[in-house]
């Protein structure tokens, strides 16, 4: 299936990004407060279908895709992300049921720089981190000035876009993006009928 190769490309980008973030955190002390999952509880998170492709293929392979699709059919897709479970909050994986397969937007959030109006990379931290550690932004910004490598959101979004401009360039509310990616990996209504009959 052609989507397998897209998913592999996405996974390679995630692994490069994760490594860059790991190194940045080690050098700057950037880390989320224990068991915080505030960013996942928001209703306005957007992602592309391509970002979810590795997860959707994984769920298809493990036989869980159909049950997730049924959940999404019942959900208001504009609600909080279906993978957010506040009671799961953990220091390493936050409150995400699918942490290792989470999309690009979740990996970048509060771990990357935006390009400001002067075309300069500027670290972007969430309200929780800015509020609890007001010195952190300046500390990271200084380190960037001295050569620290920090992921730049625009660059990573462009890498995803370049894999497949349509699937990687169109943004949807996060649950819709997940639903679309499940459909892409052949969960069409026809396949559902076959699945039910099996």
124-151 exposure pattern, b = at least 16 Cβ within 10 A, e = fewer: bbeeebeeeeeebbeebbebbeeeeebb
Binding pattern for the stretch 15-34 against ligand SF4, x by CB under 6 A and - elsewhere = -----------------xx-
* x-or-dash string of contact with ligand SF4, 53-92, rule CB under 6 A: ----------------------------x-xx--------
Instruction: Tell whether residue 10 is a contact of ligand SF4 (CB under 6 A).
Output: no
| Residue whose pair of structure tokens reads 């969430």 in the numeric block | 126
Smallest gap from Cβ 61 to ligand SF4, in A, equals: 19
What tokens were used for 174? 């996060």
End-to-end, the C-alpha distance of the chain in Å comes to 21
Q: Least separation, in Å, of the C-beta of 59 and ligand SF4?
A: 13
Backbone angles phi, psi at 121, to 5 degrees: -70, 130
Q: Is 32 helix (H, G, I), strand (E, B) or coil?
A: coil
For position 40 contacting ligand SF4 by CB under 6 A, the verdict is yes
Instruction: Convert residues 132-171 into a mask of x (bound to ligand SF4 by CB under 6 A) and - (unbound).
Output: ----------------------------------------
């Amino acid at each position: 299936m052609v989507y397998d190769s897209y998913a592999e490309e996405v996974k390679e980008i995630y692994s490069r990004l994760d490594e860059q973030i790991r190194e940045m955190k080690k050098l700057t002390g950037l880390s989320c407060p224990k068991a915080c999952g505030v960013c996942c509880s928001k209703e306005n998170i957007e992602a592309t279908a391509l970002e979810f492709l590795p997860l959707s293929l994984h769920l298809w392979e493990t036989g869980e895709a159909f049950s997730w699709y049924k959940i999404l059919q019942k959900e208001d897709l504009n609600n909080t992300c279906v993978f957010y479970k506040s009671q799961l909050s953990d220091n390493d994986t936050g409150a995400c049921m699918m942490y290792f397969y989470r999309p690009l937007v979740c990996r970048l959030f509060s771990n990357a720089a935006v390009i400001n109006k002067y075309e300069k990379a500027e670290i972007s931290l969430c309200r929780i981190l800015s509020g609890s550690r007001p010195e952190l932004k300046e500390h990271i910004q200084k380190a960037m000035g001295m050569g620290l490598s920090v992921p730049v959101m625009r660059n990573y979004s462009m890498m995803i876009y370049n894999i497949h401009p349509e699937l990687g360039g169109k943004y949807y509310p996060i649950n819709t993006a997940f639903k679309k990616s499940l459909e892409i990996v052949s969960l069409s209504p026809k396949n559902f009928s076959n699945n039910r009959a099996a």
